[in-house]
Amino acid sequence: MGMDFFEASAERFSYRGSYLPDAVPRSDLERIMQAGLDAPSGCNKQTTSLIAVDDPALLAQIFAIMEKTPSKNAPAAVCVTTKRIVAYKDGWGNERCYGVQDYSAAIENMLLAITALGYASCWIEGYVTDADEQGKRIAALLGVPEEESLICVLPIGRAADPAKRVRKKPFEERTHFNHW
Amino acid sequence: MGMDFFEASAERFSYRGSYLPDAVPRSDLERIMQAGLDAPSGCNKQTTSLIAVDDPALLAQIFAIMEKTPSKNAPAAVCVTTKRIVAYKDGWGNERCYGVQDYSAAIENMLLAITALGYASCWIEGYVTDADEQGKRIAALLGVPEEESLICVLPIGRAADPAKRVRKKPFEERTHFNHW
C-alpha cells in the first residue's frame, strides 16, 4: 500500500482530533520510521533517533505528561530524539550543527509516510520543548540516554474526526521566479 | 507523472555531480515549490519563501558566489528564505520560533518532489550560511527584502553522473520500540 508523493504532500495536515482505537501494526511503524531515517542529515551525521511506542500503559503515561496536547488517545506514537554532533567547523572556526534541520526533515518524511498509510498525526514539538521540559520527563520514562534530547512526539492512528485544515497564503505570495 | 511516496523517500539522495543541460520546465518548478509550501510550519506562521531561478545568467552569478559548492552547472535552482516570526510565547515568557523547522520540512518536501519528477539535487545550506555570508550576496542579487535570510540553495536538473549514496547506520541502531 502506498500513495503518490504529490498526493501525500497535498493530503498531509496537522490532526488535533480524537483517534479510533485500531492498533497500528509494527510493520507500519517500521515503514514510518524507515522513511524518517531516509531523510538527509548535515554531513551525514545521522543525529536523529526514533522510539516507536505502542504499549498502551506507556502511551497513557506519555499523554499524561503532555498536559496541554490534544489527541491524547492515539494508539501509537513515534518519539524523536536528537544528539548534538558538530557537522564541521567552517573556515572561521565556527562549529556548525544541523540537528534541528536533520530531525525536521526526518519528521516531515514520517508525516508523509503516516499520510501515505492512511493515518493521521501532528508535529508536537512546542509543548514538548517548552520550559516545563515535558520532553525530559518522557525521555526518562523511555530510558533515553543523557546525551539525547527528546524534542517531538508524533501521535499516530486513524482519525475519528473530520479533517480541519489551516488556511495558507496563496502560492504567489510565497514564491518568486528569478527575482523577489 | 509522479512516484510512490515510499519510493521517493528511498530514492532521494544528495547529488554532487554534474548536470545535463536540459531545461527544467516552469510547470515542474511550480510543482516542486508547491510541495515546499505544502509542508507544515509552527503555528502556521509560514516563515519560508521560495525563489526559483532558471535564468542562465543569474544561475551563473549564484554559482560563482557559491565558490566551494560542487554541481555548478544545474539548469535551475530554488533558493529558500526564512523570516523570523515568533510562533508563540510559552508560559514562561520565552519566545518560540520555528523558522529552522519550517524551512527544513519545506526543503525535504522539495527534495522528494525533485526525486519524484526524476531530477537530482542537494541540500546546500552550510556553505550558504557560513561566516562569509554567501547567502547575503545571493539575496542581494535576487532582490530579497532585508527581513528575509537566504539560507539554502537547491540545484535542480537531470543528473549526468551516476548516483553515489552515503552509507547509513543500520535501522536497529537508530530506532527502538517502547524503550531505548
| C-beta separation of A43 from A76 below 8 A | no
Q: What is the mean pLDDT of residues A16-45?
A: 97
Rounded mean pLDDT, B161-172 = 95
Of B14, B16, B40, the C-alpha closest to B114 is B14
Average of per-residue pLDDT across B31-39: 98
B90 CB within 8 Å of a chain A CB: yes
Q: What is the mean pLDDT of chain A?
A: 96
Of A26, A96, A179, the CB nearest to B143: A179
Using a CB-CB cut-off of 8 Å, the residues of chain B touching A123 are: 40, 101
pLDDT at residue number B5: 98
Residue of A nearest to B97 (CA): A126
CB neighbours (10 Å) of residue A111?
Answer: 30
DSSP state for residue A39 in the 8-state scheme: S
Taking residues A16-44, report their average pLDDT.
97
Whole-number pLDDT of residue B68 = 86
Query: What is the CA angle A27-B116-A32, rounded to 5?
Result: 20
Closest CB to B104: pick one of A100, A130, A175.
A100
Question: Does the structure show a pLDDT above 80 at B43?
Answer: yes
Any A CB within 8 A of B112 CB: yes
Residues 6+ away with beta carbon under 8 Å from B133: none
Contact A175 B37 (CB under 8 A): yes
Average pLDDT over residues B19-42: 98
Cβ partners under 8 Å of residue B145, min gap 6: A180
Q: Count Cβ neighbours within 10 Å for each residue of B63-77 and write b for 16 or more, e otherwise.
A: bebbeebebebbbbb
Contacts made by residues A69-74, CB under 8 angstroms, sequence distance 24+: A69/A124, A69/A127, A69/A153, A70/A16, A70/A17, A70/A122, A71/A15, A71/A16, A71/A17, A71/A18, A71/A19, A71/A122, A71/A155, A73/A18, A73/A19, A73/A21, A73/A157, A74/A19, A74/A155, A74/A156, A74/A157
A14 touching B, CB under 8 A? yes
Evaluate if residue B69 carries a pLDDT over 90.
no
Contact B2 A6 (CB under 8 A): yes
Q: Are strands A148-156 and A76-83 parallel, antiparallel or unpaired?
A: antiparallel
Q: Please check whether residue B132 touches A, CB under 8 A.
A: yes
Q: Residue B107: list chain A partners with CB under 8 A.
A: 101, 105
pLDDT of residue B135: 97
pLDDT tier at A180 (50, 70, 90 boundaries)? very high
Residue type, A160: A
* Residue A42 predicted with pLDDT over 80: yes
Instruction: Count residue pairs from A and B with Cβ separation < 8 A.
Output: 235
pLDDT in the model for residue B71: 82
Task: Give the pLDDT band of residue A91 (cuts 50, 70, 90).
Answer: confident
Separation CA B159–CA A148 (nearest Å): 37
Whole-angstrom distance, CA of residue B30 vs CA of residue B27? 5
Please report the ipTM that was assigned to this predicted complex. 0.97
Interface mutation target, options B9, B33, B95, chain A, most CBs of A under 10 Å: B9
Give the cell for residue A155: 501521535
DSSP label at residue B161:
S
Identify the band that residue A131 occupies on the pLDDT scale cut at 50, 70 and 90: confident
Q: Read off the pLDDT band of A27 (50, 70, 90).
A: very high
pLDDT at A132 over 90: no
pLDDT band with cut points at 50, 70 and 90 for residue B1: low
* Number of residues that make up chain A: 180
Lowest mean pLDDT among A30-34, A156-160, A174-178, B129-133: B129-133
Within an 8 Å CB–CB cutoff, is residue A170 touching chain B? no
List the single residue in B33, B116, B169 with the smallest CB-CB distance to A46: B169
Q: Which of A14-23, A28-37, B1-10 bottoms out in mean pLDDT, i.e. has the lowest?
A: B1-10
